[in-house]
A = this chain, B = another copy of it.
Amino acid sequence: MAHEILDHPDLGALDVTAVLDALGNPLRLEAVRQIAAGVDLTCGSVLPGVSKSTASHHWRVLRQAGVLHQERVGRTVIMSLRRKELDARFPGLLDAVLSTTGPTPLPSHLP
C-alpha cells in the first residue's frame, strides 16, 4: 500500500530560485531527465557511483524544492516529477531546462 513520506512543499510557497538551485547540479539534472523521460526510478536505482548518503542528499534537495515527489511503496521509494504543478507555477521553465543538451558549439553567427 502506497503512502506519503516526508515533506512535499506547496509549490505556491516556493521561489523559483529553489527550483533553479535544485536543477543546477549535473547529477540531479540527469536524474530528473531520466524521470521525465519515463524511466521508472527508485531511490536505489539511479545516481550510480554515488554513495547512499550523497544520493539521499540529492533526493532531499529535489524533493524540498518541489521538483520530485517521493512515495513509499512497500520497501521501495518511487519518484515522480511534479510536472503539472511545476508547469502551472513556472510556465515553460521545466521544458526549457529539459530541452537543453550538453555543451555544443554555438552557431558562428548569432541572430
Interface residues in chain A, defined as those with a beta carbon under 8 Å from any beta carbon in chain B: 10-26, 29, 84-85, 88-93, 95-97, 99-100, 102-107, 110-111
**How many copies of this chain?**
2
When distances are taken between beta carbons in the complex, the residues of chain B under 8 Å from A99 are: 91-92
Contacts A24-B24, A96-B93, A111-B88 hold; do A106 and B18 have CB atoms under 8 A apart? no
Contact B93 A15 (CB under 8 A): no
When distances are taken between beta carbons in the complex, the residues of chain B under 8 Å from A111 are: 84, 88
Question: Taking the nearest CB of chain B, how far is it from the CB of A88, in angstroms?
Answer: 5
Contact A11 B100 (CB under 8 A): no
- Expressed in whole angstroms, the Cα–Cα distance for A11 and B106 within the complex equals 7
Contact B97 A12 (CB under 8 A): no
- Expressed in whole angstroms, the Cα–Cα distance for A35 and B30 within the complex equals 30
Q: What 18 additional pairs, Cβ within 8 angstroms, besides A15-B26, A20-B21?
A: A11-B106, A12-B104, A15-B103, A16-B97, A16-B100, A17-B25, A18-B24, A20-B23, A20-B29, A21-B21, A21-B24, A21-B25, A23-B24, A24-B24, A92-B95, A92-B96, A93-B93, A96-B96
